[in-house]
Homo-oligomer: A and B are copies of this chain.
Amino acid sequence: MKNLIKDINFNLYQVLNSEKLLETERYKEHSKEIFDAVIDTAKRIAEDLFAPHNTKADENEPQFDGDSVKLIPETKKAWDAFAEAGFLATAMDEEWDGSQLPELIARAVYLIFCAANVSTSVYPFLTIGVAELIHSFASQKQKELYLPALLDGRFSGTMALTEPEQGSALADISTSAQLQADGSYLLKGQKIFISAGEHELSDNIIHLVLAKIEGAPAGVKGISLFICPKYLVNDDGSLGERNDLAVTGLLHKMGYRNASSTLLSFGDNDNCKAYLVGQAHKGLSYMFLMMNGARIGVGTGAAAIGYAGYSYSLNYAHERKQGRLPSNRDPSSPQLKIIKHADVRRMLLAQKSYVEGSLAVCLYATSLLDIQKTGTQVEKDNALALLEFLTPVVKSWPSKYGPKANDLAIQILAGAGYMRDHPVEQYYRDNRLNAIHEGTRGIQAIDLLGRKLAFNKFEYYQAFKDALRQTIKKSENNQEWAKELERALALHEKTSMTLLAQMAKDIDLALANASEYLEFTGKIVIAWQWLKMANAAQQALAQKPRNEQKNFYLGKLQAARYHFDWELPQIYAQAELLSSMNSVCFDMKEEWF
């Protein structure tokens, strides 16, 4: 955890210059000391109340007794301490008694809890998301009714989007909403994979449900968003009767086990009350306005689990002794710490480059959320445009390379890593979820190439290119890498234009290799992030730090070098494949399999 916090601080203060947020109207009451104290409190609670039951929760998954869902008791203690410390309202406006801390600090807190215990963290962080959505789009009265309880932990929340028959295709959901005389609605339908759908952590559970009002247009334009509480809430905030919704089963996952995943049935007795949020038929657009944040969240979770595995395998490599160098032929000489083997260092350095690259891009993206809250209109627009372009990468890259890091962590421990005595196999299982939820990799890929790239006459793409060029310009201490990145960006432009030209002709073919385009883009985005970190490291080294500090920056430079030497050069083969409109997958006939 110590290294993680060092890395967080490096990003916050040396790469992202977050202290300048203190000069803004929104955050001016804070100070760096407050930020430090918040992070320190998060670390303490994560270490004391989240990390210790990570393995136990994996071995004792939630149990459904036909009525309620039981979690191991440590979960409740963790939830209570989290709420007590005010973390459910870290970034919330002061108006609602929130701490009104920067999104960056809230993200740092999230990283810390996910690294300690990702599945227990699902409960509070989903609740934060629900509160944010209600805060952004619900009526004043709805806010007054639900927000205070969601922010102090009496209520918790879920997002109920997916249905058994639709999966990723939200346009096809069939949960229905029928308007009642009192302005409320009655819901009827089934939802699946609903995390935290039932538990006994809080007095009430607020489900945010996507449903279609009877007579709504077909497809995504007919979807509305509803508040559907487990217990109805009286006007004075007290709990009323039990609403007509029920858990019909639990799903049993490979990992993330302490986060109950439920099948929910709404309106079995035709009496499931729900309340429209905002306007009818705008539900999906509300969800999507929060989606950038949610998707950064998935990337951050993947980065955090990747980081946890990296740290564990690093400690192991420092302690475990085995074998000798190839040049040493004396079998009676003492065995070496395995970190002395170059291949072990390769696996550690690859992990470092993956997880710290992931961490950096997630925090960078989060800093754009803060600009959206504090900047001038021009700054806000630019930050939004940049974030829109980056989000598919921020979600997907850590979700691929975090698990890849976890795979390497297992490999360093070898036989021991495959055993449940060490946590690395759990990290590997936990992290596998992240390429799936909040939009699979394939969906991110289509979002990037099919929507974001050319959006509004390349508004998003232009913001992306500008941001890279700005970094390139400021890289006088890392000129070689800056040139590499410039070359990569030129290739990216050329490849993108080729794909767009094809899109006008045959969109199905042009989007067929979107996943490879996402991977291609990701390698360039992460190279950019490493260049930013390398610049910050050079700047720090110019101050002649010593010992541990100096080593820290030299490590950053070496990890940057790893990305530039080992990862980035793969873009040339990728660009060739993409530019040639390779149609091998597209042409494959289903009957040929």
A contacts, CB < 8 Å to B: 162, 166-169, 171-172, 192-193, 218-220, 251-255, 261, 314, 318, 320, 322-327, 331-332, 335, 337, 339-346, 348-349, 352, 407, 410-411, 414-421, 425, 428-429, 432-433, 435-437, 440-442, 445-446, 450, 506-509, 511-515, 551-552, 554-555, 558, 561-562, 565-566, 569-570, 572-573, 576-577, 582, 584-593
Contact = CB atoms under 8 A, between A and B. Distances in A.
B442 A251 contact: no
Identical chains bound together, number: 2
A254 B425 contact: yes
Contacts of A349: 584-585, 588, 593
Contacts of A325: 508
Contacts of A450: 326
B345 A585 contact: yes
Contacts of A419: 251-254, 261
A45 B572 CA distance: 49
8 contacts: A162-B415, A167-B415, A252-B419, A254-B419, A415-B437, A558-B587, A558-B592, A562-B585
A324 to B, nearest CB: 8
A507 B326 contact: yes
Contacts of A592: 551-552, 554-555, 558
A412 to B, nearest CB: 9
Contacts of A407: 432
A425 B251 CA distance: 13
Given A169-B335, A325-B508, A584 B558 contact: yes
A248 to B, nearest CB: 14
Contact of A585 (B342, B421, B589): B342
B254 A420 contact: yes
Contacts of A169: 322-324, 335
A342 B572 CA distance: 23
Contacts of A220: 331
B343 A589 contact: no
A335 B513 CA distance: 21
B326 A446 contact: yes
Contacts of A445: 343
A415 B436 contact: yes
A113 B40 CA distance: 53
B411 A436 contact: yes
Given A166-B322, A435-B411, A584-B558, A343 B442 contact: yes
Contacts of A593: 314, 339, 348-349, 352, 555
